[in-house]
């Protein structure tokens, strides 16, 4: 769970966070008293100014579209009060390739890419390619495959629901049902790490995305929905050696 100055971690108590039971938990954070992950650039896909600044190219990409949705942050409402209102952002989808340039810290020890995406498109997978943005003729080098499994649509089975003393047992051993449900939470952030061998010593990198579809049905026999690579924002975080003072020591 990479984060900057702070992180908000919440526990959902009960199906709709309605439980008034008392819970306790403990979290451990291992870190350094200095910054080691620096945000150095961000591309807002669908914003023509931002796309131009980052030399964004997506020859077969869709036109920009606007989406109002939510992240998976907990229940939308509780006791009639809206907890997480929908927000709006723009993006595109592609079924082939995308390219863009991101600024990074030359003293980086690697780079973390964060992508905001539309999670309605299932099992998004793409090969990530990197080259030196200052030398257009340099060859592309593969950084691996970026795979975001699943989508905001899932399937579950209630089993046999007839009443009786053995109701719960019967529900588990009853015939399989395929109940498909789709969440209204289509926003998702996902991260991909770039090794220092592809980024160190460079002030900018050219990122290539090559979509590689995963034709996997939600369950056997279910039709495969539209497959595409979704991109709304790309953010570059340079991993750097933190600078901090140990301070005076006491005897």
- Is residue 245 in a domain? no
pLDDT tier for residue 138 given thresholds of 50, 70 and 90: confident
Rounded Cα distance, 216 and 225, in Å:
9
Structure tokens at 220: 């056997």
Domain count, the chain: 1
Region label for 228, one of left (φ > 0), alpha (ψ between -120 and 50) or beta (otherwise): beta
Rounded Cα distance, 60 and 53, in Å:
20
- Is residue 44 in a domain? yes
Rounded Cα distance, 233 and 191, in Å:
12
- Is residue 213 in a domain? yes
- Is residue 32 in a domain? no
pLDDT tier for residue 250 given thresholds of 50, 70 and 90: very low
- Is residue 48 in a domain? yes
Rounded Cα distance, 236 and 90, in Å:
18
- Could you report the per-residue pLDDT of 2-38, keeping only the tens digit for each? 666 778 777 777 666 667 778 788 888 877 777 888 9
- Is residue 161 in a domain? no
Q: Which DSSP symbol is given to 111?
A: E
What's 118's domain CATH number?
2.60.120.260
**Percent helix / strand / coil, the chain, rounded to 5:** 5, 35, 55
Q: Where are the alpha helices (DSSP H) in 54-209?
A: 167-173
- Is residue 30 in a domain? no
Average pLDDT over residues 143-165: 82
């Amino acid at each position: 769970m990479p984060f900057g100055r702070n992180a908000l971690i919440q526990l959902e108590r009960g199906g709709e966070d309605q439980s008034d039971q008392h819970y306790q938990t403990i979290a451990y954070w291992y870190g350094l008293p200095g910054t080691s992950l620096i945000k150095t650039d961000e591309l807002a896909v669908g914003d023509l100014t931002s796309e131009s600044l980052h030399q964004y190219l997506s020859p077969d990409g869709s036109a920009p579209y606007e989406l109002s949705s939510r992240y998976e942050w907990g229940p939308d409402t509780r006791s009639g009060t809206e907890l997480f209102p929908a927000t709006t952002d723009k993006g595109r989808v592609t079924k082939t390739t995308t390219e863009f340039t991101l600024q990074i810290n030359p003293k980086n020890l690697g780079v973390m890419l964060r992508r905001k995406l539309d999670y309605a498109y299932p099992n998004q997978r793409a090969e990530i390619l990197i080259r030196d943005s200052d030398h257009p003729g340099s060859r592309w080098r593969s950084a691996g495959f970026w795979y975001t499994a699943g989508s905001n649509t899932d399937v579950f089975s209630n089993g046999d629901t007839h009443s009786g003393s053995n109701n719960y047992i019967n529900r588990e051993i009853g015939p399989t049902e395929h109940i498909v449900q789709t969440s209204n939470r289509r926003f998702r952030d996902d991260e991909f790490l770039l090794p220092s061998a592809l980024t160190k010593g460079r002030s900018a990198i050219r990122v290539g995305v090559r979509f590689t579809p995963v034709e996997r049905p939600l369950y056997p026999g279910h039709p495969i929905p539209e497959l595409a690579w979704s991109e709304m924002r790309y953010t570059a975080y340079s991993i750097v050696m933190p600078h901090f003072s140990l301070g005076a020591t006491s005897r």
